[in-house]
Structure 1
């Protein structure tokens, strides 16, 4: 029988380090412990001086990590920052902007803010009340608060990292002390964000404590788990249209086989797809830059670089690289840049201002090709080692050129059953079913916004939960665009779905959307909310989500906008209004 080893609580390690060591040493066999003893002795015998053991500092440096998140990236970074800070001997605490009180922040000594920007310069939904309070005239002063801001965004939007920029400027205006220049991160944020956090923690570590924390990392060499940097090649088990051939918005149902991946997900999570660029577009870009026969450039543009997003930064970088006078004039004029970008992609820039580039120059101009994320339309309780997606094919014409969505075009035109797609799961903890099955749910969605609700209802079907669910779904035409109609009708019959309201915008002379259903059924909606219902919204962020928000404010406030916004903020703070918008 193996004897269990436990470190005494008086060992010269921080409590969390003792726990970590117990987990390793406590499970180790006699042979493993003997090996470890010899290994450590060998280090000393080789002449490596061990740092003198020092008692943990009596007072740890406090650090508050405040985050505002929409898709989970800021929250994940905040969690990683907390773990790093703990290893360095800090006393960190995590604080979601949804739970933050400005009045308490004024007593914070050190503050790291990690904030994402959503849509056209908007804060994450859960952070919106905090941002309104921060920007209000009566916001408390933050004299003496040391702060640093890490901003996340997407440079394809004009208001890049706007939320982080506003927080940074406002904290300074309220008397805060900026201890690190704000860092604005694009979609490939992981490496620069990690460097920013490490640098900040080093700056905040008191000189007297340097070297006092013993870093012990035990790990076994093993395969990297499935994730963004190590996706799983999932076989396509099914791929077919769920709109009619007469639909003006083709939508596909995709089933992926996850057998052997170890991937687990919950209803509400998203699946990341590693896309490949359209070969025709790759060829056009290479031709315009004089690299058509360059195999390295072809490979990079196919799988690694974004060739569909044209940004102001790309125009400015291209102008600086080429020295083109006409291009420099465009790059210097913000309004002209905005007009040129509208409806265009990098190929339009390279063809309008052609220059021969090297592979290194071209790839340095283009940002990394990011994954495309889709709400999962299935419950693992029902489908097992599989994941279902609803993919709306993006296809349009602008500036005389046909355009395709990167991932949706790849799936619709270049993938078939039996092929494969590289995928990974991204958790969405703020878009989950209620903790108790008795809680009513109201699900509002348009188009492929139906996807997570299909997962919700499959989950309830698998668990045998009936009723207390209301779906409000909208699309263009009943006959052509009623996504997952048979599933929904079956759930209505079985009682898994308690109520269904539909809004097909083009089936009558006057367009009718989900917000019109909400308004018409406002008394029932208020009754559901009074009974403790959780409200969900999934779909387009630019139009539908804003209109729904405005309608809910009107319903809650009974035409008193301030009262309605206050009630909506209270629902958000209580986790009873959840959004998954794109």
Structure 2
């Protein structure tokens, strides 16, 4: 019941904020394509929210369909959708209890002297799941805790950075009390909630007045506490069909389809990295593009983690998707990833490059994208009979031409 009330307050906050901004600027009407933005999000109704993963999967990937009807918002394949999330009401309740704060205390939230009740501010306005060096340094003024006073010393910058990683506001308040600070003084240390951006997983040409997302729920344990992704778990656990989410379109000028429908495309999108390529494929199906398309997809298990399998196989049967190569890393003794599948098909890949194909990669920045980049260089080196330096130059030339594009995070 408490969670439902908090979520209703969250929705009402954004509705009232939208009405306020519209009154401030009469030009901001629903028919105006510029009226909804990062600072003035559209309340998009949730049409569908399902788990794409099958029984036995260690993952939870949500397919979410949102209505854009009446918003005037539009997008092209490659763009992202921003969601302005709300914090976990249970985490907010724990913070209030830990500090003995009155949830109905009015607090200033910005330099314009706007105020919100403390619970609402912690739920909808402030970032409470991330710590920064600046927050800890400023918080040191509100406690005599010797451990914190030592931690924020200049010579301990490395330890301070390590402490921030994987910890949040609740950790700080528990670790370094007792505190001689009001709720206002503590929230004044916090940053405004930042929207979360997700690659759009649909074509508006194929799905008028709709936008689809592919969101992996982030859950992990760190420093003896269970942690949840702010937006991903909101979508996985607390947003039901019929609810609304505050959204805006974020154009991506660096990730786009070829101008010519005759151009071949190669897409590497393991896990939720499939999202923009679902958009690409839908768009090419509707526009009846004649260029070939090749998808590399990977995840843990074929039986439970082959996202959009039926859709993709149908596109292949219909000739929209020329080829699919999959890598399921936990289905064999040796872990096989998308870059391994690329190397297995190096001859064909290089032929596609030579014929002018565009190459796209979407997904994990730290490991996958680096491994794919290395595999690309190896393919070019081997099949082009080039040395390492020349292969890297070949790839850089593809980038300059806009034929090697990355959407990594």
- Normalising by structure 2, we get a TM-score of 0.86
Partner of 2:366: 542
The answer to whether the 8 Å contact 1:241/1:252 transfers is yes
Aligned length: 363
In the TM superposition, residue 342 of structure 1 has moved relative to its aligned partner by 3.2
- Call closer, same or farther: CA 1:490–1:466 in 2, change over 3 Å: farther
2:396 is matched with 569
**Matches of 1:221 and 1:244 in 2, distance apart?**
48
Deviates more, 1:463-472 or 1:336-345: 336-345
Q: State which of 10, 29, 36 in structure 2 corresponds to 1:226.
A: 36
Residue 168 of structure 2 corresponds to 345
SS of 1:301's equivalent? helix
Contact 1:467–1:497 under 8 Å retained in 2 = no
Larger Rg: 1
Match of 1:378 among 173, 191, 202: 202
Asked if residue 579 in structure 1 is aligned to residue 392 in structure 2, the reply is no
Give me the whole-angstrom Cα distance separating, in 2, the residues matched to 1:528 and 1:309. Answer: 44
Looking at structure 2, the residues matched to 430 and 280 of structure 1 have their Cα atoms a distance apart, in angstroms, of 38
CA-to-partner distance for each residue in 1:278-333, whole Å, 9 max, x for gaps? 01111222333342534422111111111111222222121134354321101121
Which among 214, 223, 243 is matched to residue 53 of structure 2? 243
Identify the range of structure 1 (249-258 vs 303-312) with the bigger mean alpha-carbon deviation. 303-312
Q: In the alignment, what sits opposite 1:322?
A: 143
The counterpart of 2:287, out of the listed 460, 463, 468, is: 463
CA distance in structure 2 between the partners assigned to 1:286 and 1:567 by the alignment: 57
Give, in whole Å, the separation in 1 of the partners of 2:290 and 2:57: 33
**Pick aligned residue for 2:99 from 278, 281, 289:** 289
Deviations 1:350-373, CA, capped at 9 Å, x for gaps: 111122532321222111110001
Give the distance between the partners of 1:481 and 1:221, measured in 2 at CA: 48
CA distance, structure 2, for counterparts of residue 484 and residue 467 of structure 1:
22
In structure 2, C-alpha distance between the alignment counterparts of 1:335 and 1:494, rounded to whole Å: 55
Q: Distance in 1 between matches of 2:102 and 2:269?
A: 44
What is residue 130 of structure 2 aligned with on the other side?
Answer: 309
In 2, are the aligned partners of 1:441 and 1:468 still within 8 Å (CA)?
A: yes
How far apart are residue 221 of structure 1 and its match?
Answer: 4.5
Aligned counterpart in structure 1 of residue 83 of structure 2, from 260, 265, 273 = 273
Of the candidates 501, 507, 510, which is equivalent to residue 331 of structure 2?
A: 507
- Which runs of 5 or more structure 2 residues have no equivalent in the other structure? 1-24, 29-33, 106-116
For the 8 Å contact 1:273–1:421, the answer to whether it is kept is yes
What aligned pairs does 1:180-219 form with structure 2 within 5 A after superposition? none
2:142 touches 2:181 (CA, 8 Å); kept in 1?
no
Query: What does 1:350-365 correspond to in 2, within 5 Å?
Result: 350-354=173-177, 355-365=179-189
Q: Is the 8 A contact 2:262 2:290 kept in 1?
A: no
Cα distance in 2 for residues equivalent to 1:339 and 1:240: 37
Q: Which has the higher contact order (CA 8 A, sep 6+)?
A: 2
Taking only aligned residues, the RMSD between alpha carbons, in angstroms, comes to 1.6
C-alpha distance in 2 between matches for 1:399 and 1:325: 21
Which residue of 2 is the match for residue 23 of structure 1? Answer: none
Describe how 1:20-31 pairs up with structure 2 within 5 A.
none
Identify the residue that residue 43 of structure 1 maps to in structure 2: none
Q: For the Cα contact (< 8 Å) 1:466–1:498, is it kept in 2?
A: no
3-state DSSP of counterpart to 1:541: coil
Contact 2:130 2:168 in 1 (8 A): yes
**Number of the residue aligned with 1:388:** 212
**SS at structure 2 position matched to 1:252:** strand
Moved more, 230-239 or 354-363: 354-363
- Per the TM alignment, residue 412 of structure 1 is displaced from its structure 2 partner at its CA by 0.9
Secondary structure of residue in 2 paired with 1:455: helix
The reply to whether residue 498 of structure 1 matches residue 322 of structure 2 is yes
Is contact 1:272-1:374 (8 Å) kept?
yes
- 1:469 Cα deviation from its structure 2 partner: 0.3
- Aligned to 1:262, which of 72, 79, 96? 72
8 Å CA contact 2:49–2:240 kept in 1: the answer is yes
**2: CA distance between counterparts of 1:369 and 1:302?**
9
Distance in 1 (alpha carbons) for counterparts of 2:226 and 2:26: 48
Give how far 1:245 is off. Answer: 2.8
CA contact (8 A) 1:475 1:482 kept: yes
